[in-house]
Amino acid sequence: MDSPLLPHGVKRCTPGVFFLWTLPWLALLAWGGLSAVLCLWKGLNQTNMSNVFAFALWIVFDLAVIALGAGAFFTGFLTYIVGRKELKSIINTAVIIGFICYSGAMAMLGIDIGQPIRGWFIFWHANIHSMLVEVSFCITCYLTVLAIEFIPIILENRKIEKVKELRLLGHNLHEVMAVFAATGTFLSFFHQGSLGGMFGVMYARPFAAREGFYIWPWTFFLFVLSAIACGPCFTILCTKLTEFLSRKKLVPDDAIQFLAKMSGWLLTLYMVLKTLDYLGWIYGVVPRAGLTFMDFFNEGPYGVWMIIVEMVFCGFLPAIILMTPAGRKSQGWLIFASLLNCTGIVLNRFLFIIVTLAVPVMPFDRFWGYLPTWQEWGIGLAVIGYGFIVFSLAYRYLPMFPKETALNPLPVE
């Protein structure tokens, strides 16, 4: 019944089945919606955040999805600036994922601040010294860029395409897409970086402090690098999931393999630098603060094991798998490695946010624990629900995978 809206020459499930598929995600959205109303109406006392855990689950989600969404700008960069034609078959997916991640993050931030109505003060009373201001500016601009990148894909919808002006608009946008890709790349570089900077500049928080690379905290570069190292893997994972659910091949291997290879390289480079980072931190920053590495872990649930997991299992291991052709060519290993890679980055963000705040700086202060409330989970998970829905709609109604028809010719009746 919605067949006139579906792309040409593709097979989609019936509206009924599609509706059933969206139900769980709509449920998550409802849960999140309720939580959001409570937090905005009754205030942030609905959460388990505190003066100790000023940042918590939501910020972890924010930083995680923004890192994972980095596939968008990086793929865009490779496609339009570097000119890797094979990526055209996956760029749409990357863009949509990016859009979902960034819009989701923005929504969460809107609820996270105590005075949402004053949110715009960030721009009006901007403090140029604040990394968070840089983040806010870049993310907002980049979200617009993503929207613009998203539009042509929407305009390719079979029905909309019928409107001549819109078809033209879409076509012209395609022509200039390189410009936006470049802008996006530029913006992303800076906000991914300043996200890292946010924590590196906290020079009075020895667990996070990373100052000393000229004017920059070096987490700036580590965050950029880790983001573009995991972003592509996340794009791959989403694609693979879609292929698995739709039981058909949607993206040619060359695209996937190229992304995987890039990820491999970048992750390897990142792991080298991250190792240096830890060494520089353990032997530079930490002793300067009068602490030893182990001092951070003598209380509470967070232990050295987290760092080992981050570095070894979710760092070097996937790096090696992705670097070895055999590894990334095998479907199973590729997915496994991508999963580890993404997990590692999320874990890294978790360390920088939660553990930084959990560890007391004053020797006589004590360690604090934190568990999110259902309201916090609700809002966090709603972003996932939202992601699935937007992604599913896009897959159903838009030619998200240009090669889909070629790879899956319909039987002629």
Partner 1 sequence: MKITRRNFIASVVGGVVGIQVTPLPWKLTDDAAIWTQNWPWVPVPPTGAATEENTVCNLCPGGCGISVRKVDQRAVKIEGRTDYPINPGGVCPVGMGGLQLLYDNDMRFPGPMKRAGARGEGQFVEISWGEAYDILASRISKLRKAGRPEAIAAVDGNAEGTTTSLLIQRFMRAVGSPNYVKPASITDTYAMGNLLMLGKSTPMAYDLENSDYVLSFGCGLLEGWGAPGRVMNAWGMWHDANPAKRKTKVVQIESRASNTASKADFWVAPRPGTDGALALGIAHVLISKGRLDQRFLDNFSFGFNDLTSLSGQKKPGFKSLVLKNYSPAQVEKITGVDANAIVSLAENFSKAKTPVAIYGKGKNNLNGSLYEFMAVQSLNAIAGRINRPGGVLLPDPLPLSPLPDFDPDEAAAEGLKKPRLDGAGSPAYPFSQSLINHFAKAINNSAQSPVDTLLVFSANPFFTVPDGGGFKNALEKIPFIVSFSPYRDETANMADLILPDHNYLEKMEDTVWPVGLQYPFFGLSKPVVEPVNNTRNVGDVVISLAKAVGNETGGVFPWENFEEALQVRAKGLFEAGGGMVHYDPSHPAWRFNPFRSIPKPTYGSFDEMWEAMKSGGMWYRPVTLGKSWEGLFSTPSGKFEFVSQKLAQAVMAYSHETSVKEAFRQLGIRVSGAEAFMGHYQAPKLGVDRSKYPLFMVPYEMMNLAGGWIPTPPFLYKTLFDSQLLKNESFAAINPETAAKYNLGQGDRVLVESPAGQLKVRVDLFEGAMPGMVYMPLGFGHTAYDEFQKGKGVNPNNIVNALNDPVSGYPVWWNTPVKLTKV
Partner 2 sequence: MKKENDHGKPDAGHKALHQSRQKYGMVIDLDKCTGCGTCMVACAAENNVPVRADQTDKERTITWMRLYKISNGKKFPHTEVSYFPRPCMHCDHHPPCVSVCVATATKLDFNTGIVSQIYTRCIGCRYCQAACPYGARYFNWWDVFPQDKGMDRYLSPDVSPRMRGVVEKCTFCHHRLMRAKSQAYAEGRREVAEGEYVTACTEACPAGAITFGDLNNPKHAVSKLSKHPYAFRLLERLGTEPKVYYLSSRDWVRRLADNFLPGEYQPVVNRTWAEEEWSTKPGRDQF
Complex with partner 2: residue 4 or 363, whichever CB lies closer: 363
b/e string for 22-42 if b means 16 or more Cβ within 10 A? beebeebbebbeebbebbeee
- The pair phi, psi for residue 213, each rounded to 5°, is -95, 90
- What's the rounded Cα separation, in Å, for the pair 36 and 269? 40
Instruction: Round to whole Å and give the CA distance between 401 and 250.
Output: 6
> At 209, is the secondary structure helix, strand, or coil?
coil
Q: Does 198 bind partner 2 (CB under 8 A)?
A: yes
Restricting to residues 352-371, which ones interact with partner 1 according to CB under 8 A? none
> Scanning residues 40 to 69, which ones bind partner 2 (CB under 8 A)?
43-45, 49-55
CB of 363 to partner 2, least distance (A): 5
Instruction: Quote the tokens at residue 334.
Output: 């590729």
Residue closer to partner 2 by CB (options 124, 305) is: 124
> Which 114-153 positions form the footprint of partner 1 (CB under 8 A)?
115, 117-118, 120-121
The footprint of partner 1 on this chain (CB under 8 A) covers a number of residues equal to 5
Residue identified by tokens 């409570």 is 38
Contacting partner 2 (CB under 8 A), which of 37, 81, 82, 113? 113
Residue matched to tokens 């760029």: 91
Q: Of the two residues 120 and 214, which places its CB atom closer to partner 1 in the complex?
A: 120
Q: Which of 348, 337, 142, 350 is CA-nearest to residue 236? A: 337
Q: Is 206 in the site for partner 2 (CB under 8 A)?
A: yes
Site for partner 1 in 5-44 (CB under 8 A): none
What residue 83 binds from partner 2, partner 1, none (CB within 5 to 8 A, per partner kind)?
none
CB 80 within 8 A of CB 178: yes
- What does the radius of gyration of the chain's CA atoms come to, in whole angstroms? 22
Tell me which of 14, 172, 292, 298 binds partner 2, using CB under 8 A. Answer: 292
For residue 337, which of 229, 233, 259 has the smallest C-alpha distance? 233
The single residue among 362, 371, 411, 412 that binds partner 2, judged by CB under 8 A, is: 362
Q: Measured between alpha carbons, how far is 70 from 63 in angstroms, rounded to an integer?
A: 11
Compare residues 169 and 317 and give the one whose CB is closer to partner 1: 169
Contacts with partner 2 by CB under 8 A lie at 43-45, 49-55, 112-115, 118-119, 121-122, 124-127, 129-133, 136, 198, 201-206, 211-212, 287-292, 295, 356-357, 361-365, 368
Contacts with partner 1 by CB under 8 A lie at 115, 117-118, 120-121
